[in-house]
A and B are shown apart, each in its own frame.
Chain A
């Protein structure tokens, strides 16, 4: 199984270090979810892998541009072109023509549910439809590597399900997929997770590994919680403790708790 990715990658914008010595593998047939708060470095990592920002140090190991499907944060569709014209343009740039294009267009339109909107301008599509079009554009040449920057942000739950179905199918078909997301329930469905914070790797591994490797443990808050170490999940408060869990209890119940706990642990160690 071949893998692309980055080794000890550092990216700086002027004096700001956006990524600091980040290493990551993106493997064929897997979805790697990159999670982290605002300014964590998710987009910078993806853009560096796509070659859109230069590495200040370290190395990027990525296929040629013709083997990458990229979906930027802002969807990256041409709003003044129709759905069909968007597909025509990107297919032409990717060298997909003739019968191959016809077959892929039909399949992608069916998968995205955009068959009835082929003549509509991309700018007139709903947010979810536009994201699905952007995914279709990234997939038109069936690239071995897919780089998706928050593909489901701002998308309704039904469209998120559709997008995930397509992303999973691409992975099943052998694509190496790296996607940034702010939805940790989504990240939990990924093969592996990379948690970034302030441009550094906080945790990495399968979702189960990440949850198992949280420093300390997360528990339901009892009584008046310590505000600095507590957060609300639905009607319940959770609290993080640096102490090891007792009686073999789980360190975190889910990925969201794990990421918050890891972030608090880092803040505590830096304090």
Chain B
């Protein structure tokens, strides 16, 4: 038995990925659940629009963080109801209070579920008639309405990273990647041929899940379908790129799954999908801002629930586009390196010239 235990420890010590999971995963989970797993919102981003905003602001509980700089920059004091509605739609604040009505109307962004729930509770504590509450985009604060748009991204991430990397590593494990490398196929043909089916399947999944979300859970689709499709395609390039990158660093399907899980788990926990980023300490929430799913959640919830357009969503689109270019390019270059060593073309060319 001693020999068996010793052998197991020796094997484990050499299996760096398993060791990483054994050491990094508990620490990651401890940090996430210790600091990030928090549904309690302490600060709600708030704007007050219209005349007399200072008096209204003064009456608000401390929970409501009024952004004075943004208010000054956008001349909130001169705004009206439409200004207030636009600010909510464009995700400039979770709560926008319109003082042009009597009493003032607090527009709550129902797509920011936890903020809206907290704000609704806090505003209800104010004296009767102090403010009228209007929850936009998710009036009943239904959890499914917020989860389904994010879930679409999670499914795409699952297909893009785990399924794609498994499919690519299978070629390496079976020795067929080597076979492909010496067939008269351009590396780009192999790469596109390998990735396109996963892209198509993931896109189909995106359509099916979106339709089911709308049909079964009555999730509204208030925005532009084409914009949603473009966002989905960009996000797919990011996650497919991650899948290809994982495959280039894995020799077996088990290794690919291990690495993919280590990429998938932080996305589930730190993208704002389950735990609101605004409730996390800054030391943790920054991790969320380097994860692609965070930006997909912004885009997906924005388009489906708020009917947001590119003018307000462009920062998320831009970040995802940069991620797509960087990650996908790196992935393709690494995969291409596996398929065609840099000096091969040179030597093949010289030999052809010699024949």
Interface residues of A, Cβ cutoff 8 Å to B = 2, 4, 47, 50-55, 59-66, 68, 70, 72-79, 90, 93-95, 137, 147
Contact yes or no, B352 A64, CB < 8 A: yes
Chain B residues, CB < 8 A from A76: 174-176, 178-179
Considering only CB atoms, which chain B residue lies closest to A43 in the complex? B178
Contact across chains for A62 and B351 when beta carbons are under 8 A apart: yes
Residues of B within 8 A of A95 (CB): 184
B55 at the interface (CB under 8 A from A): no
Asked if A93 and B178 sit within 8 Å, CB to CB, the answer is no
Interface status of B6 (Cβ within 8 A of chain A):
no
A51, A73, A95 — which one has the most chain B CB atoms within 10 A of its CB?
A: A51
Interface-lining segment among B16-24, B97-105, B228-236, B340-348? B340-348
Q: A59-B350, A61-B354, A63-B355 are in contact. List 4 more A-B contacts (CB 8 A).
A: A51-B181, A52-B178, A68-B182, A95-B184
Contacts A51-B341, A79-B174 given; does A60 touch B351 at CB 8 Å: yes
Distance (whole angstroms) from the CB of B193 to the closest CB of chain A:
10
Residues of B within 8 A of A (CB): 174-176, 178-179, 181-185, 340-344, 347-348, 350-352, 354-355
Q: Are B341 and A54 in contact (CB under 8 A)?
A: yes
Q: B179: which A residues are within 8 A, CB to CB?
A: 70, 72, 76, 137
Closest CB in chain B relative to A145 CB, distance in Å:
11
Residue of B nearest to A59 (CB): B347
Chain B residues with CB under 8 A of A65 = 182-184, 348
Whether the pair A2, B355 counts as a contact (CB closer than 8 A) is: yes
Partner of A66, one of B174, B184, B350: B184
A78, B184: Cβ atoms closer than 8 Å:
no
- The 5 closest A-B CB pairs, nearest first, are A74-B175, A76-B179, A54-B343, A54-B341, A66-B184
Contact indicator B183/A90 (Cβ below 8 Å): yes
State the main secondary structure of chain A at its contact with B. loop
Q: Nearest chain-B residue to A65 (Cβ)?
A: B184
Inter-chain CA distance A128–B83, complex, in Å, is: 75
User: In this complex, what residue of A is CB-closest to B351?
Assistant: A61
Contact A60 B347 (CB under 8 A): yes
With A61-B351, A61-B354, A64-B352 as contacts: A74 and B341 at CB distance below 8 Å: no
Contacts of A54 on B, CB cut-off 8 Å? 341-344, 347
Partner of B174 from the list A47, A74, A90, A147 (CB cut-off 8 Å) is A74
Please, how many angstroms separate the alpha-carbon atoms of A148 and B176 in the complex? 14
Question: Please, which residues of chain B bring their CB within 8 A of the CB of A70?
Answer: 178-179, 182-183
B-chain residues with CB within 8 Å of residue A63 when the two chains form the complex: 351-352, 355
Cβ contacts under 8 Å, B176 to chain A: 76-78
With A63-B355, A65-B183 in contact, is A55–B178 under 8 Å at CB? Answer: no
CB atoms of B348 and A62 under 8 A apart: yes
Interface hub of B178, B179, B183 (most chain A Cβ within 10 A): B179
Instruction: Give the most central of A70, A95, A137: most B CB within 10 Å.
Output: A70
Q: How far is the CB of A47 from chain B (nearest CB, A)?
A: 7
In the assembled complex, the CB of A179 is this many whole angstroms from the nearest CB of chain B, namely 15
Interchain Cβ contacts under 8 Å between A and B, 7 examples: A52-B344, A62-B351, A65-B184, A74-B174, A76-B174, A78-B174, A94-B184
Contacts of B178 in A (CB 8 A): 47, 52, 70, 72, 74, 76
Contact A51 B184 (CB under 8 A): no
The one of B182, B185, B350 that contacts A50, using a Cβ cutoff of 8 Å: B182
Are A94's CB and B341's CB within 8 A? no
Complex Cα distance, B184 from A95, in Å, reads: 9
What residues on A are CB-neighbors of B350 within 8 Å? 59
- Which residue from A2, A51, A77 sits with its C-beta under 8 Å from B347? A51
- CB proximity of B254 to chain A, nearest CB, Å: 17
In the complex, residue of chain A having the shortest beta-carbon distance to the beta carbon of B338: A52
Q: Looking at the assembled complex, report how far the CB atom of A1 sits from the nearest CB atom of chain B, in whole angstroms.
A: 13
Kindly provide the distance from the CB of B271 to the nearest chain A CB, expressed in whole angstroms: 33
